[in-house]
Amino acid sequence: MSNGSFPPTPGRLRGALVTVAVVAVVCAAGWLAWYALRDDGGRDAGAAAEARHTPTGSAAPHTGDTGGTGHTGQTSHTGSGQADRADDSGTSGNSRKKPLKGMVVVIDPGHNPHNNEHTAEIARQVDIGNARKECDTTGTATNSGYPEASYTLDVSRRVRKLLEAQGAKVVFTQDGDRRYGPCVDERARIGNRAHADAVVSVHADGAGPGNRGFHVIAPAPVHRGKADTSKIVAPSRALADQLISRFGQATESKPANYLGGGSGLTVRDDLGGLNLSTVPKVFIECGNMRDREDAARLTDAHWREQAARGIAQGITDFLRG
């Protein structure tokens, strides 16, 4: 059925085809130009973003190196800016998080909670080099009955946790897991066999009321029989000095007012644990259990945590030189 139009002539058909071709070429050229501009713009934007996040003149991260020397435990760090950013995965960052890695610390919790059940055994005499002395004692207690042996174990376990967190290998002479003791000569041998970088024997004193404060006991020069402290007197004194400083700061305690001339330091030649040691070793008497003020601190768990922190920090300072 007709709609009133006429079929196209050959001339009209050619003209229409030419028009379509021209339009197609123009569109293709426009599309190509737009795509090229978009691509260049994307690359320029990416380069600009990269430039914004890359510091000028930055260098490749430096991993740094670490090393310990003898009992000082000195650690060397280089490239502080880049190394700080490597803390989560870089070698240098891990070394700083574990400053005592490779160090051995022996903690000697004074006495033993079971000593009072084995009085005959702990009364046995042992050789301490310049004399003979009882194997061990029961230790003292507060007037309310809190035993020194319980205090020393609690604080020593807290110290162990802090030191292990810094990478140290911590050895105990006893952990409440022995029938009694060990005897004072064996306590010394445990530190010697471990080739300890430092040994600290944890105690609390049993002096009269009104005598309060802490003190650290360092070995005197002893050269007799099995005892020869000549090589450990100086490093033990350095360990003592660090403990006095850090323990006082952490606990806000004052040095003992009844010995040591207020210095917090005493030197003795009658303790087998010191006489027979071949590695740096000291005793710390954290307070007087027989004094009401000191006893209130010694029986407080929060204060014991502060005491442990002071001991751990003193050991750390000594080992790091």
Q: Which of 50, 117, 285, 305 is catalytic?
A: 285
Question: Can you tell me the mean pLDDT for 146-158?
Answer: 98
- How far apart are the C-alpha atoms of 72 and 280, rounded to whole Å? 11
- H or E segment at 126? strand 125-127
Per DSSP, the residues of 215-283 read EEEEEPP-EETTEE-TTTHHHHHHHHHHHHHHHHHHH-PPBPSSSGGGSSEEEES--HHHHT-SS-EEE
The tens digit of pLDDT for each residue in 235-293 reads: 999 999 999 999 999 999 999 999 999 999 999 999 999 999 999 999 999 999 999 99
* Percentage above 90 pLDDT, the chain: 70
d(CA 20, CA 22): 5
d(CA 71, CA 321): 8
Q: How far apart are CA 160 and CA 247, in angstroms?
A: 16
**Tokens representing residue 122 in the block:** 């702990």
pLDDT: which is higher, 190 or 23: 190
Higher pLDDT, 148 or 64: 148
Please say if the pLDDT value at position 50 is more than 50.
Answer: no
What is the model's pLDDT at position 97? 81
- Residues 107-135: what's their mean pLDDT? 98
pLDDT at 185: 98
Q: Which range has the worst mean pLDDT, 9-23, 104-118, 212-226, 243-257?
A: 9-23
The yes-or-no answer on residue 285 being catalytic is yes
